[in-house]
Structure 1
Amino acid sequence: MGKIIQVGMADLKLAKTPDKLMTAGLGSCIGICVFDKNVGVGGLAHIMLPSSTLAKSNLNHAKFADTAIVLLLDELEKMGCSRSRLQAKYAGGSQMFKFSGDSDIMKIGPRNAEAVGEHLNKHRIRVLASDTGGNYGRTITFDPKTGDLLVRTIGHGERII
């Protein structure tokens, strides 16, 4: 039985079977899991914002969808993963609060989900499943051996994607 590796906000970690990766507190944030089942290695990034162009200074690459995905792919390759076999699952991207007006600037969750999908597609990473949207938080646990992503919520149950 492996250990569960905690991934904090704006953080990124990798695990090798039998270990699992877990992150909590996904509201508008997204947990991106990328893995290579053949080698039993996966990574989890807990991103907070869609684009690093929003950074003013001290760029934390794990904080943004665009830079976290690049970093995740590079780190997975260093662990023996083949870019051509990498697959992804992700969850989060809720709209936790209601805002008046039509401005998209405050719709961080949906913007995060869109950015994650775009950047995974840009890097030709096949997305197997996602669980995004709504107005509730999520906690996820990822198993790089099976590729199972357990998504737990309060009031909306749990499911494996």
Structure 2
Amino acid sequence: MSEMIKVGMADLNVCISPNAITTLGLGSCVGIVLYDPIKKIAGMVHVMLPDSTKILNNENKAKFADTGIDELIRQMLTIGADRKSLIAKIAGGAQMFAFSNNSDMMRIGERNVEATKLKLQQLGIPIRAEDTGLNYGRTIEFYPETGELLIKSVGKERKIL
């Protein structure tokens, strides 16, 4: 019997097939799935902010793209994932509200996506699929057995990446 493992906001978790993993309500946040397709081990982090070095109260590693990805990899390796096999799929990073000025503070979704891509590039982890940006929220489910990332959004067709 398989289980759907939940990941909250500024949270992360790992799973092994046949279990699956999900996070709800990605707006400007980014859901990052890392996956070892050989061992069918997956991890997901729901990051809220791009950079832990810009925030004083930053002990929650899962809140930030830079520290959340590192912590996710660490936890995946402890349950048997192979670092060299990891691939990524990402979703979220929406611009949820229209603003008249284009200040960095208002571009949080875009900045989360940029920080995620930069960190994965630095780590040498290829992004195999993404559904990012635009102006709507997403709920994602990842199935390590098939490697499929299901994306659900209100009023939109379901997507499988």
TM over 0.5: yes
The answer (yes or no) to whether the contact 2:89–2:149 under 8 Å persists in 1 is: yes
Cα separation, 1, equivalents of 2:5 and 2:96: 26
Cα separation, 2, equivalents of 1:104 and 1:72: 27
Q: Which residue of 1 aligns with 2:70?
A: 70
1:101 aligns with 2:101: yes
Which residues in structure 2 correspond to 1:131-146 (within 5 Å)? 131-146=131-146
Cα separation, 1, equivalents of 2:80 and 2:126: 18
Q: TM-score under structure 1 normalisation?
A: 0.97
Deviates most, 55-64 or 80-89? 55-64
Cα separation, 1, equivalents of 2:124 and 2:95: 27
Q: Which residue of 2 aligns with 1:119?
A: 119
How far did residue 128 of structure 1 move?
Answer: 0.3
Q: Which residue of 2 aligns with 1:56?
A: 56
1:153 aligns with 2:153: yes
Residues matched between the structures, number: 161
Which ranges of 4 or more aligned residues in structure 1 deviate by more than 2 Å? none
How far did residue 58 of structure 1 move?
Answer: 4.9
The answer for unaligned runs of 5 or more in structure 1 is none
Q: Which residue of 2 aligns with 1:46?
A: 46
Deviations 1:34-55 (A, max 9, x none): 0101111100000000000132
Percentage identity across paired residues of the two chains: 48
How far did residue 101 of structure 1 move?
Answer: 1.5
How far did residue 59 of structure 1 move?
Answer: 1.4
Deviates most, 63-72 or 98-107? 98-107
Deviations 1:64-118 (A, max 9, x none): 0000010111111111111110000010000000111231221100000111011
Cα separation, 2, equivalents of 1:70 and 1:22: 19
Cα separation, 1, equivalents of 2:58 and 2:83: 29
Cα separation, 1, equivalents of 2:54 and 2:149: 29
Cα separation, 1, equivalents of 2:86 and 2:118: 16
Over aligned residue pairs, what C-alpha RMSD do you find? 1.0
Cα separation, 2, equivalents of 1:69 and 1:79: 16
